[in-house]
Amino acid sequence: MKQKEIMLNTLSNKDMILDELLVEEIGNDHVSSSAETPMKKDAFVLSDEQKIKKIEIHFKEIMETLGLDMNDDSLSGTPHRVAKMYIKEIFNGLNPVNKPSVKLFENKYRYNQMLVERDITFYSNCEHHFVPFFGKAHVAYISNGKVIGLSKLNRIVNYYAKRPQVQERLTMQIAKELKEVLNTEDVVVVIEARHLCVSSRGIKDDSSSTVTSFYGGKFKEEEIKTEFLNYLNLKSSY
């Protein structure tokens, strides 16, 4: 009987090790499971304040598990600060009520060339390790009769950045939103970012960056694609 229990425990431990290795491998490879952010059906049953209180309790437990003295003046308020930061700031793009409202205007100038908004600064967090990745987003579109306020392009980028993300999904979500808002396929999104899960842990490479892109409609044409990239001083291989 004891031998059987030992065999079962050994098999169980092997399964746990394999699961841990698989999770680590997926995290390091930045695999995205969906173009949409995975959300629970009851994601917004709790209010923001209820979520803050709940996260505060759990984060305090994490800190205590790490061995930190939560009676220290410098640490005692940290769980609340982190919880509030998560809900009100760095992950507030999860809640659709924070989605920027967009007003379109008639293209009275009949401007039919591409409009490029480059070097949009964003900060996001990798969903695999919950550490930051940050960089610049470059977006452009060709008007289909309507135009959008320039600041709204920045707001759309930052709305989708403020959630646990992978860069590929962030690129696709921004592109999808622009296509729907502007009612055109003629949009492009290029993102250049540095990932702290690469530079501060794991391989610890602080010199590399990651580039992702989406080209839609006319931007798939080589001439227009090249014109856009010339504005960015990027190589056409991107």
Query: Which residues are known to be catalytic?
Result: 126-129, 167, 195, 197
Query: How many angstroms from the chain centroid is the CA of residue 104?
Result: 26
Q: What is the DSSP letter of 192?
A: E
Say if residues 66 and 79 touch (Cβ distance below 8 Å). Answer: no
Say if residues 174 and 153 touch (Cβ distance below 8 Å). Answer: no
- CA-to-CA distance for 13 and 34, rounded, in angstroms? 30
Q: Residue 174 is inside which H or E element, if any?
A: helix 167-182
Q: Which residues pair with 125 in a beta bridge?
A: 132, 164
- CA-to-CA distance for 227 and 213, rounded, in angstroms? 15
Say if residues 156 and 174 touch (Cβ distance below 8 Å). Answer: yes
In degrees rounded to 5, what are phi and psi of residue 215?
Answer: -120, 125
Say if residues 163 and 94 touch (Cβ distance below 8 Å). Answer: yes
Query: How many angstroms from the chain centroid is the CA of residue 147?
Result: 26
